[in-house]
């Protein structure tokens, strides 16, 4: 399917690896010019080069912390008039809520709620004026499913979801959409690191931990960043203009809810 977005400009935050990389790759395959972002210069440059080589798309590597004003300025300097914005940022690590300091909580809310809102503020009016805009926020299945230890991440992302729900309705008439993808268990560096931690703590092979996790998912496997990116690219396409203010759960059937 031709997504109809060849030539569009996309900023994909935290896209040097993992789910963000999957989104950047699929958008580049659709013909978009893509800003690839990360904090590690070597990894970010390598990812941008790999995506460009694989797709022929123009990619721009921006090494920056998206949660800072300086980092956001660097992204918008590289692409001042994006047609597509994919918000993504690492979440706080597992931690009992009793251990969270005020500073921890403010940092978590800044990274996973305030930062994407700040970026939306800076790009949404230009999108509306041009008559096309797609904003996709990568949140988490924990917005729907309570996961003890991820309370700060869940709360910040739920706040982002509710905040932008109203905003989405104000720009829908200008062909600007805002949607959220809620990932479940995906085969990323972060999940592999968690598997290694659990394996070492329990004294069992990493593959056993990985298989046990996969067995708990009705699909029988972990998701891939590429299939996650494919959904993101469709939401950014000309075919998805009637989808806005929605939360799309992508978890292989792990959530048991019918609605």
pLDDT in tens, 124-161: 999 999 999 999 999 999 999 888 888 999 999 999 99
Which structural domains are found in the chain, ordered by start? 9-185+225-250 (3.40.50.720), 187-222 (no CATH)
Q: In terms of residues, how long is the chain? A: 259
pTM assigned to the model: 0.95
Q: Is 57 a residue whose pLDDT tops 90?
A: yes
Query: What tens digit of pLDDT does each residue of 199-212 get?
Result: 888 888 888 888 99
Q: Which candidate, 235, 43, 57, 7, places its Cα nearest to that of 138?
A: 235
In this structure, the number of other CB atoms found within 10 A of the CB of residue 226 comes to: 15
- Phi first, then psi, for residue 165 (nearest 5°) are -60, -45
- Categorise residue 214: left if φ over 0, alpha if ψ from -120 to 50, beta otherwise: alpha
Q: Are 110 and 157 in contact (CB under 8 A)?
A: no
Helix, strand, coil percentages in the chain from 3-state DSSP, rounded to 5: 50, 15, 35
């Amino acid at each position: 399917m031709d997504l109809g977005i060849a030539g569009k400009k996309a900023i994909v935050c935290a896209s040097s690896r993992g789910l963000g990389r999957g989104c950047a790759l699929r958008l580049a395959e659709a013909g978009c010019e893509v800003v690839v972002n990360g904090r590690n210069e070597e990894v970010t440059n390598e990812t941008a080069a790999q995506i460009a080589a694989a797709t022929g798309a123009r990619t721009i590597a921006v090494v920056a912390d998206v949660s800072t004003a300086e980092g956001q300025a660097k992204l918008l300097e590289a692409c001042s008039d994006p047609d597509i914005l994919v918000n993504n940022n690492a979440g706080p690590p597992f931690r009992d809520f009793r251990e969270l300091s005020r500073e921890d909580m403010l940092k978590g809310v800044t990274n996973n709620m305030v930062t994407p809102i700040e970026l939306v503020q800076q790009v949404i009016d230009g999108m509306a004026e041009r008559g096309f805009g797609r904003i996709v926020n990568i949140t988490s299945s924990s917005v729907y499913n309570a996961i003890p230890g991820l309370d700060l991440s869940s709360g910040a992302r739920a706040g982002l979801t509710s905040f932008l729900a109203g905003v989405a309705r104000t720009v829908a008439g200008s062909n600007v959409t805002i949607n959220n993808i809620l990932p479940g268990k995906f085969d990323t560096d972060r999940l592999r690191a968690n598997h290694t931690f659990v394996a070492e703590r329990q004294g069992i092979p990493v593959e056993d931990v990985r298989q046990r996790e996969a067995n708990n998912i009705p699909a029988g496997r972990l998701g891939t960043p590429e299939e996650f990116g494919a959904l993101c690219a469709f939401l950014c396409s000309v075919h998805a203009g009637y989808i806005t203010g929605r939360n799309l759960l992508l978890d292989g059937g792990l959530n048991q809810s019918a609605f």
